């Protein structure tokens, strides 16, 4: 890749500030556990350069018209579509998504959120008069954006696109584990004609580039997606400059299968939803609650669903699940599977080790645990791999209480033959987004969490609002 060892700053591809001494990092193909590319790792000096460019660009860009921003987003969408296959292959190679999944889901989300924001901008009310007060929504300023590796195009789009729509300028740090999709995204923005300094990209690690961004006095807002542990570090580093911090963090989402649901369908689809993306989604339904009287039946359906999945290299045909992202993640998942066995959960499917015939790469067996109790580690910690915990309940009140008994509150799932019944249960769940009867993904729905799953919301008008400040002009209509 032409720009792999460069950063995008002030409308140009540039070498690191200390090019001769800049550290580099291998990009690992998780299907083979071998390096296939290399990036430069930025420093605080590179962040300073990028922030200075964004600060210079802000006054002019923040005053662009809504029509101009719509035209810019449309130009980005056009170029994104032209580079679609490049995005698909980069995502598949760097984070292990099967090619078909990278095409149909991973890369597609970039298109979906661009289209959604164009529609949103067309009708969004940036100012209105209330009594004699002008309520005006203005760009928050220079934004620092830190995105994860598990959904690269999605997370970059859901930060960069609303920031552009709001009139903000920005510095992006993609995950160093999956950086190539971010570089392609920068190339797309450059070709689409984003003004110099409005968008900047610096690759690097959280402890250096992420820390420098979070502490930087000229960054007005940090938007971070990743683990709760890292999100706390960003918030602490940002506190001294009292900047806004938006966090989309971890999850341990509950899937409540109610008494009146079709059990086979609900369990089968729930298991598949948990295992999608090799279990590497923060909103994955990893805790499944089923009526205790039908627990054995549910475990049989989950076992069948897990064992039907084909695991293999991302570029192979007929693959359902690819590898997990890294050796570190593989080791964590293996450890937690072992803890599940040690703590007495019933291993229904999968288990420790790689699937048969896969000696290289970070492949994990789709794993189902039954007879899980709420106090078990696998019912409380975010595993971030293809591991499903199934818990039995005796009453609906008990199921809701167990679902809410979590540090997290990102997503929730409710399955019922009655939509009114599902509505009633959804009202009682302490979580940011709830999916009824496996509703389709919707880029207009607010996305974000309660409790230690973060604060703020992404997607559509809700994501746009997070990049806006509110100004009141009193006496405006007098």
- Quote the CA–CA distance of 153 and 107 in Å, as a whole number: 6
pLDDT tens digits along 82-128: 999 999 999 999 999 999 999 999 999 999 999 999 999 999 999 99
pLDDT at 82: 98
Q: How many CA atoms lie within 13 A of 428 on its CB side?
A: 15
Q: What is the signed CA dihedral for 456, 457, 462, 464, rounded to 10 degrees?
A: 70
Host H or E run for residue 238: helix 228-239
Are 388 and 286 spatial neighbours (Cβ–Cβ below 8 Å)? yes
Strand pairing partners for 40?
24
pLDDT at 146: 98
- 314-343 average pLDDT score: 98
DSSP string, 85-115: HHHHHHHHHHH---HHHIIIIITHHHHHHHH
Are 406 and 254 spatial neighbours (Cβ–Cβ below 8 Å)? yes
pLDDT at 7: 98
- 392-400 average pLDDT score: 98
Q: What is the signed CA dihedral for 260, 265, 268, 270, rounded to 10 degrees?
A: -50
Res 294 pLDDT > 90? yes
pLDDT at 472: 97
Task: Give the chain's mean pLDDT.
Answer: 97
pLDDT tens digits along 243-282: 999 999 999 999 999 999 999 999 999 999 999 999 999 9
- Quote the CA–CA distance of 116 and 95 in Å, as a whole number: 26
**Radius of gyration in angstroms for the set of CA atoms belonging to the chain, rounded to a whole number:** 23
pLDDT at 60: 98
DSSP string, 212-234: HHHH-TT--EEEEES-HHHHHHH
List the catalytic residues.
Answer: 248, 282
Res 298 pLDDT > 80? yes
- 50-71 average pLDDT score: 98
189 contact partners, CB below 8 Å, separation of at least 6: 76, 160, 199
Name the phi and psi angles at 251, rounded to 5.
Answer: -155, 155
Res 474 pLDDT > 90? yes
pLDDT tens digits along 453-468: 999 999 999 999 999 9
Tokens of 18: 């200390």
Nearest residue to 313 (alpha-carbon basis) of 26, 27, 29, 28: 29
Name the phi and psi angles at 222, rounded to 5.
Answer: -110, 130
pLDDT at 19: 75
Nearest residue to 223 (alpha-carbon basis) of 144, 164, 166: 144
Q: Find the helix packing angle between 180-192 and 84-95, rounded to 10°.
A: 160
- Quote the CA–CA distance of 389 and 385 in Å, as a whole number: 12
Euclidean distance between the first and final Cα of the chain, in Å?
A: 59
Q: Please, what sign has the CA dihedral across residues 76, 17, 143, 136?
A: negative
Are 221 and 189 spatial neighbours (Cβ–Cβ below 8 Å)? no
Nearest residue to 351 (alpha-carbon basis) of 367, 331, 370: 367
Strand pairing partners for 349?
368
What are the chain's domains? 7-249+453-473 (3.40.605.10), 254-443 (3.40.309.10)
pLDDT tens digits along 431-451: 999 999 999 999 999 999 999
Alpha helix ranges (H) inside 124-209: 152-166, 180-192
Res 478 pLDDT > 80? no
Res 319 pLDDT > 90? yes
pLDDT at 195: 98
Are 459 and 446 spatial neighbours (Cβ–Cβ below 8 Å)? yes
Nearest residue to 25 (alpha-carbon basis) of 146, 214, 174, 226: 174
pLDDT at 150: 98
Res 375 pLDDT > 90? yes
Res 357 pLDDT > 80? yes
pTM of the model: 0.97
Tokens 């205790």 map to which residue?
292
Res 45 pLDDT > 90? yes
- Quote the CA–CA distance of 429 and 436 in Å, as a whole number: 12
């Amino acid at each position: 890749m032409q720009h792999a060892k460069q950063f995008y700053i002030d409308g140009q591809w540039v070498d690191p500030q200390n090019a001769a001494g800049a550290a580099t990092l291998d990009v690992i193909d998780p299907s083979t556990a071998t390096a296939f590319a290399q990036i430069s790792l930025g420093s605080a000096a590179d962040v300073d350069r990028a922030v200075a460019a964004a600060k210079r660009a802000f006054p002019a860009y923040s005053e662009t018209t809504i029509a101009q921003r719509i035209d810019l987003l449309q130009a980005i969408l056009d170029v994104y579509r032209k580079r679609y296959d490049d995005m698909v292959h980069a995502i598949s190679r760097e984070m292990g998504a099967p090619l078909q999944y990278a095409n149909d889901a991973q890369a597609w989300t970039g298109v979906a959120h661009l289209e959604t924001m164009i529609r949103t901008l067309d009708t969004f009310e940036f100012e209105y008069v209330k009594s004699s007060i002008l309520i005006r929504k203005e760009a928050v300023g220079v934004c620092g954006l830190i995105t994860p590796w598990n959904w690269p195009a999605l997370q970059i789009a859901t930060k960069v696109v609303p920031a552009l729509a709001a009139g903000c300028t920005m510095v992006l740090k993609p995950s160093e584990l999956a950086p190539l999709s971010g570089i392609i995204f920068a190339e797309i923005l450059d070709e689409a004609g984003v003004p110099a300094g409005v968008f900047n990209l610096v690759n690097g690690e959280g402890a250096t580039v992420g820390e420098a961004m979070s502490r930087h006095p000229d960054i007005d807002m940090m938007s971070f997606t990743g683990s709760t542990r890292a999100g706390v570090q960003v918030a602490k580093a940002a506190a001294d400059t009292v900047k806004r911090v938006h966090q989309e963090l971890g999850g341990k989402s509950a899937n409540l299968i109610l008494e009146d649901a079709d059990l086979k369908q609900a369990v089968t689809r729930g298991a598949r939803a948990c295992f999608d993306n090799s279990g590497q989604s923060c909103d994955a339904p990893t805790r499944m609650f089923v009526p205790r009287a039908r627990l054995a039946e549910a475990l049989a359906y989950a076992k069948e669903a897990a064992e039907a999945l084909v695991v293999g290299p991302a570029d192979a045909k007929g693959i359902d699940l690819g590898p997990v992202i890294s050796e570190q993640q593989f080791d964590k998942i293996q450890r937690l599977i072992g803890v599940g066995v040690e703590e007495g959960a019933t291993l229904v499917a999968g288990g420790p080790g790689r699937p048969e015939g896969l000696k290289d790469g970070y492949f994990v067996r789709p794993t189902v645990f039954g007879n899980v109790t709420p106090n078990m580690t696998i019912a409380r910690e975010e595993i971030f791999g293809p591991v499903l915990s199934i818990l039995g309940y005796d009453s609906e009140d008990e199921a809701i209480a167990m679902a809410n008994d979590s540090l997290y509150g990102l997503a929730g799932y409710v399955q019922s033959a009655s939509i009114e019944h599902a509505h009633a249960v959804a009202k009682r769940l302490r979580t940011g987004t709830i999916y009824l009867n496996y509703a389709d993904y919707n880029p207009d729905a607010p996305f974000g969490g309660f409790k230690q799953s973060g604060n703020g919301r992404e997607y559509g008008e809700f994501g746009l609002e997070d990049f806006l400040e509110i100004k009141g002009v009193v006496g405006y209509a007098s």
